[in-house]
A and B are shown apart, each in its own frame.
Chain A
């Protein structure tokens, strides 16, 4: 079965410091991978998605970047964090959900909560 891991789960960082959030997927190959951000009490904002190694599409210009150095690894980074980068970051992968769903479904990780002070 497929599993998705995100770390760290919680992070408190000062303004201006760098950021690295990591996501890995197990049990599948060449998945579509996504980074979403969820501000407090808000919806899901798509930040980046990747259809393969080294292929990154950015949805919202901002202080963040993403990389996919390996097939099942997706990294979200920043060189200098801003207060507005605080939020709940979710990694997700898109893959076949099986006969019950009959479709390619989006499966989320447990999330990484970032607080920038």
Chain B
């Protein structure tokens, strides 16, 4: 059973546009929701993360929106740039047991100049 479902699988956005990637989770015990960015041939790197006690977190052009009741969270990339072209993974984990991070299947983002 897929603990975290991510969509879309791929996304093409014009430079300057907004990129939106969505994730949904099942386990209400999850209390930490990170997003990772992966460039080709590299390991994923932590981009931004949120806890369920807030509905939004913003860092520069990247914003996480969190809807606890719907068990959904999303990544918004404002003013998307060609350098943002990468694969993005959402994830969920529990801080108390914390041995596993459950990843979404990834979204390949291409920003067209």
Query: Residue on B with the closest CB to A41?
Result: B108
Contact between chains at B44 and A43 (CB < 8 Å): no
Q: Which residues of B contact A90 (CB under 8 A)?
A: 43-44
Shortest C-beta distance, B57 to chain A (Å), equals: 11
Please indicate the chain A residues that have their CB under 8 angstroms from the CB of B104 in the complex: 43
Determine the residue in chain A with the shortest Cβ distance to B10: A41
List the B residue with the shortest CB-CB distance to A106: B101
Total contacts A-B at CB 8 Å: 58
Please, how many angstroms separate the alpha-carbon atoms of A47 and B44 in the complex?
Answer: 16
Chain A contact patch, size range: 20 to 34
Contacts of A113 in B (CB 8 A): 41
Any chain A CB within 8 A of the CB of B100? yes
Is B26 part of the binding interface, using a Cβ–Cβ cutoff of 8 Å?
Answer: no
A44-B41 Cα distance, complex, nearest whole Å: 14
Question: Chain A: residues with CB nearer than 8 A to chain B?
Answer: 32, 34, 41-44, 46, 49, 51, 57, 90, 92, 94, 97, 101-111, 113
Shortest 6 CB-CB contacts between residues of A and residues of B = A108-B43, A43-B105, A44-B103, A111-B43, A43-B106, A103-B32
